[in-house]
Structure 1
Amino acid sequence: MPKGYLAIVLHAHLPFIRHPEHEDFLEEDWLFEAITETYIPLIKVFDGLVKDGVDFRLTISISPTLMSMFMDEHLQDKYIRHINKLIELSWKEIDRTRWEPSFFKLAHMYHNGFLECRRVFVDEYKKDLNNAFKHFQDLGKIEVITCGATHGYFPLMEVERPASVRAQVKVAADLYRKVYGKTPLGMWLPECGYNPGDEEALKEEGIKYFFVDTHGILFGTPRPRFGVFSPYLCKNGVAVLGRDMETSKAVWSAVEGYPGDYNYREFYRDIGFDLDYEYVKPYINPDGVRINTGIKYYKITGAGNHKEPYNPEAARDTAAYHAGNFMFNREKQVEFLQGRMGDRAPILVSPYDAELYGHWWYEGPQWLDFLIRKIRYDQETVALATPGDYLKLYKKYQILAPAYSSWGWKGYSEVWLEGSNDWVYRHVHKMTERMVEAANTYKNANGLLRRALNQMA
């Protein structure tokens, strides 16, 4: 029996972008980069763990916009064209770097990686990555949860707020049921933005839990008995969990976090910017704007501009070391907490943007793979769990009213409401009023009118 639990939560979201009127559209590359650098690498980690018989439990939030893009045939076909271009470019790089051993090896690494991405995307999951995440959820390895329909920021939906938030939650839950065949257990509130009462919309859709940032729990009423190391129940029975700062800092911190290690790959040195313009022109944006290709040959090296060639073996060893360090610290953290929580095992909630893993932190999926294996085989203090798993452990949880909160700068919506953007909200609120009015006026709309209402929404 473990002394405590670690709940790793990966939040996967991208805004919905689809432009069939353009053969290439710059913002669509956000999706294609994330598929290549984050989602498929994570899927490969899960697949490797399953094949090796390693038991694990993770939580993944997939926003409805991302879920919708995964299943869009137009974007699927565009991704195949995108990955084919990268395969072609990496093959040219193998030839170009043949007299540069350090880069030649990396060119082969990228070429093989792009080929593998195409295989996984096309052959294994039939171009729809929802199939992959559903597969691992059905195997009992991950808990897929949802998010606000358009990733709208709940606390600032002030005009007709209840209707706006209900719509965000209902549309998200309906799409989840369509894709996964059941009601989502949990919801990621966009930007962890919580306003008291938001849990009512979740309750209506059968959602059992959500997350807030640390201070959303610590400043809740009454005082939380176990800090952020236990779920709490809102008055309507929906559970709320708070972020653990120690685990977050270990990965998120730009100063202390693992991703800044000098052995790891440098994100900001890409051949799309480094190489001759005419050479990379066929592989960048058609209007001539240089973009990241994903082929990067240097490691972070240090704080200055001097960069040395990337060494995948050294980076892999570093990821293994960091995974061991993270696990050791969680063991000590759980041992400390367990002695202060009576007969209740603590849960450490560790949420991260999924795109950190692989896209920003190239070695992130490797680190996660090492961590899961080490937790499974190298100790017995901490076990992986999802919030859904933990909520089954105890019959009673403290009733708590969480505090208004968000994550981000200062923790109270300042990223989303400050002097440079406050002008937009009167327009957003007016559009919300008109949308609610139109929906109430044409409740039984169908055909073209219904399509128009859906487009408005």
Structure 2
Amino acid sequence: MSDEGTFCLVLHSHLPWLPHHGTWPVGEEWLYQALAHSYLPLVDLLHRLGERGRRDVLTLGVTPVLAAQLDDPYALRSAHDWLGNWQLRAQYAATRWRAEDPLLRELAATEYRAAGGAIEEFETRWRNGFSPVLRPLVDSGVIELLGGPATHPFQPLLHPRIRRFALHTGLTDTALRIGSRPDGIWAPECGYAPGMERDYADHGVRRFLVDGPALHGDTHAARPVGDTDVLCFGRDLEVTYRVWSPKAGYPGDPAYRDFHTFDHPSGLKPARVTGKNVPPERKRPYDPDLAAAAVRRHAEDFVSSVVTRLRDLRERHGRPGLVVTAYDTELYGHWWHEGPAWLEAVLCGLPAAGVRVTTLRGAAEAGHVGAPVELPVSSWGSGKDWRVWDGAQVADLVGAGAAVQDELLALPPGERDIRDPARDQAVREALLTLSSDWAFMVTKDSAADYARRRAKVHGDRFGELAGMIRANQHDRAHHRAAELRATDRPFGHLDARGLLS
């Protein structure tokens, strides 16, 4: 047992359902960038730590919709093509920058080697998808895996029947892919409404994450919710925000690679941040030595911050404390180029500083559990309420989503003993319409037009199928469902009888 206390890192891996929906700046490019720069390096790190005997390294949430994409044969073929194109772009950059700054020439060579390594890693370990890569890490106890509801909906806005069905479908999907049903979930956007814990308990979920303000910042221990034995863990914002906050964090350091500045002919990112208000054309070339020094400095700062926080918690509560931090996985490598190196330094530095590093499950088993709590309406979005997904900017999406739910629940049930592919596809399209991603992109003005279009496409597809089902046009409905399933095929096991019966 550690002297200082316990630390849990939770990573949330999620991207919207993207295959067959276009390329940069939205669509499949997001998926392949995240695969190359975040998921491949993270898995490699976890395997290396596992080979050293490390267990309960971190808690990893993988949403069913991301798992479906990274197991999809079309996406895997396209990802392999993307990695090859990355290497070609690096080769082209080396030609363009031959007479330029030596740092640029070295960057092109580094990118070429990185792309080659990614191709080799993909061809040897990832060729059959993400699930075969994840399962050994779960089975050996290197990580704790969190599941979630299908299509990543903002659960508080769902009708209870649909919410329970989405949760069941998502947990079943993870069990089919990994071989075991997770007993913890990442609730999409950490969205919570009072009473949802009973749904969790009914589905065997024993742990989920909320943002710190839902517990008024008292995140030193997990808390049973209401009269259930379902535990909520609060994200410690005091520590979390040292890495990434709405206004600051390590990735903004002048030495780190700048995410937003592109060399458009090659598609590479050749600049360092340089300064907060420095325009792209004045940013300095990326210097890996400067970045490595910043990684060491920030890893040491983070370890020191965790130790200080744990000592404060021990003094305040008279017992060893718990610090839980949580981030999007894509921060590490995709948004923050140096993130994987920082992550490795922290995961090795914390145990050396006397901090027990474990999972949410491990923290509960170690006794970091406090008194029951009644949680308020909450999320991890702006304002820590529901405004991102239920605000004025997205009132049209919310209204359309409510109408889809009403129409879905009003559909006549099919035969109890026979699956109906048309009803299965109708439910699938309805759930994709209700993804939380569309409202987030609109509220944050991040590809808002794309998000509205995607929500409308799925809503229109659902409406089309629903109309055929109501009119008893079975042949037309089955034909249309087959067409849609050929292009968008997440959750092939989804059985509408679990909802429409």
The 1-side partners of 2:79 and 2:238 are apart by 37
Matched, 1:342 2:303: no
Q: 1:153 aligns to what?
A: 154
Conserved 8 A contact 1:147-1:169: yes
Q: 2:131 aligns to what?
A: 130
Which amino acid in 2 is paired with 1:262? P
Which residue, 261, 284, 287 being the options, matches 1:269?
261
Which residue, 305, 309, 313 being the options, matches 1:333?
309
Q: Offset of 1:52 from its aligned partner?
A: 4.6
The 1-side partners of 2:371 and 2:261 are apart by 50
Spell out, residue by residue over 1:263-316, the C-alpha distance to the aligned partner (whole angstroms, 9 max, x if none). 0001111122xx4xxxx5xxxxxxxxxxxx3x2111001121221111112211
Q: Offset of 1:237 from its aligned partner?
A: 1.1
Matched, 1:19 2:20: yes
The 2-side partners of 1:52 and 1:367 are apart by 18
Which residue, 190, 213, 225 being the options, matches 1:215?
213
Spell out, residue by residue over 1:404-431, the C-alpha distance to the aligned partner (whole angstroms, 9 max, x if none). 1111111111111222211222221121
Q: 1:231 aligns to what?
A: 222
Conserved 8 A contact 1:405-1:412: yes
- RMSD of equivalent CA atoms: 2.1
Q: 1:300 aligns to what?
A: 273
Q: 2:469 aligns to what?
A: none
SS at match of 1:415: helix
TM-score by length of 1: 0.88
Q: Offset of 1:438 from its aligned partner?
A: 2.6
Q: Offset of 1:434 from its aligned partner?
A: 2.1
Q: More deviation in 8-17 or 437-446? A: 437-446
Higher relative contact order (CA 8 A, sep 6+): 1
Give identity over the alignment, percent: 26
Spell out, residue by residue over 1:27-55, the C-alpha distance to the aligned partner (whole angstroms, 9 max, x if none). 01110111011111211222333345555
Conserved 8 A contact 1:185-1:388: no
The 2-side partners of 1:420 and 1:456 are apart by 23
Q: 1:31 aligns to what?
A: 31
Conserved 8 A contact 2:190-2:379: yes
User: Per residue, is there more helix in 1 or in 2?
Assistant: 2
Q: 2:359 aligns to what?
A: 386
The 1-side partners of 2:368 and 2:19 are apart by 46
Aligned length: 424
Q: Offset of 1:120 from its aligned partner?
A: 1.2
Q: 1:205 aligns to what?
A: 203
The 2-side partners of 1:150 and 1:192 are apart by 15
The 1-side partners of 2:34 and 2:203 are apart by 30
Which amino acid in 1 is paired with 2:163? V
Q: More deviation in 439-448 or 132-141? A: 439-448
Conserved 8 A contact 1:193-1:407: yes
Which amino acid in 2 is paired with 1:31? L
Spell out, residue by residue over 1:79-98, the C-alpha distance to the aligned partner (whole angstroms, 9 max, x if none). 11111111111112222222
Conserved 8 A contact 2:223-2:369: no
SS at match of 1:147: coil
Which amino acid in 1 is paired with 2:80? I
- Label 1:254 to 1:415 Cα distance change in 2 as closer, same or farther (>3 A): closer
The 2-side partners of 1:55 and 1:456 are apart by 39
Spell out, residue by residue over 1:15-72, the C-alpha distance to the aligned partner (whole angstroms, 9 max, x if none). 112228x799950111011101111121122233334555561011011100100110
Q: 1:367 aligns to what?
A: 342
Q: 2:113 aligns to what?
A: 112
- Label 1:448 to 1:374 Cα distance change in 2 as closer, same or farther (>3 A): closer
The 1-side partners of 2:62 and 2:410 are apart by 30
Q: How does 1:55-66 map to 2 (within 5 A)?
A: 57-66=57-66
TM-score by length of 2: 0.80
Q: Offset of 1:390 from its aligned partner?
A: 1.3
Q: 2:43 aligns to what?
A: 43
SS at match of 2:168: helix
Unaligned runs of 5+ in 1: 220-226, 281-292
The 1-side partners of 2:357 and 2:63 are apart by 23
SS at match of 2:375: coil
Unaligned runs of 5+ in 2: 431-501
SS at match of 1:423: helix
Conserved 8 A contact 2:86-2:115: yes
SS at match of 1:302: coil
Q: 1:310 aligns to what?
A: 286
Q: Offset of 1:403 from its aligned partner?
A: 1.2
SS at match of 1:429: helix
Q: Offset of 1:441 from its aligned partner?
A: 5.2
